Amino acid sequence: MPEEPVDAKFPIIDDIDRVIHEPARLVIMSHLYVLDRADFLFLKQQTGMTWGNLSSHITKLENAGYVEVIKKFVDRKPYTLIQLTQSGRQAFEQYQRQMRHMFEGI
């Protein structure tokens, strides 16, 4: 008898957003969820990632439409800031709900 695929046994796992589920991106999303916006340097210091790593993960999140990169002048100095988009915020909340639901009753 052929073995049933894992995703079929646990359909909720299949629905988990893999863009957010990756640990490094989950850390970035968590920070941006609780902060309004932050620049690359602040996120680097908080997450402990390298520039390259952080940059590639932010690009993936940006491509997914979860974060946006904006330019802002503060005291006449330009800052490149990253913030969650509305869909990024909703996706993160959905991810929270799914993870909580998955472990319910354990």
Three-state SS for 84? strand
By beta-carbon proximity to other proteins, the closer residue of 8 and 33 is: 33
CB of 61 to other proteins, least distance (A): 14
Among residues 30, 85, 94, 98, which is the contact residue for other proteins, using CB under 8 A?
30
Q: Quick check: 102 and 25 in contact, CB under 8 A?
A: no
What is the greatest pairwise CA distance in the chain?
Answer: 69
Binding segment (CB under 8 A) for other proteins, from list 5-13, 17-25, 30-38, 60-68: 30-38
Task: Write phi, then psi, for 104 (nearest 5 degrees).
Answer: -60, 140
Among residues 81, 84, 88, 91, which is the contact residue for other proteins, using CB under 8 A?
81
Q: Does 94 bind other proteins (CB under 8 A)?
A: no
Binding segment (CB under 8 A) for other proteins, from list 6-14, 15-23, 26-34, 60-68: 26-34
Q: Quick check: 56 and 63 in contact, CB under 8 A?
A: no
Can you give the length of the chain in residues? 106
Q: Does 8 bind other proteins (CB under 8 A)?
A: no
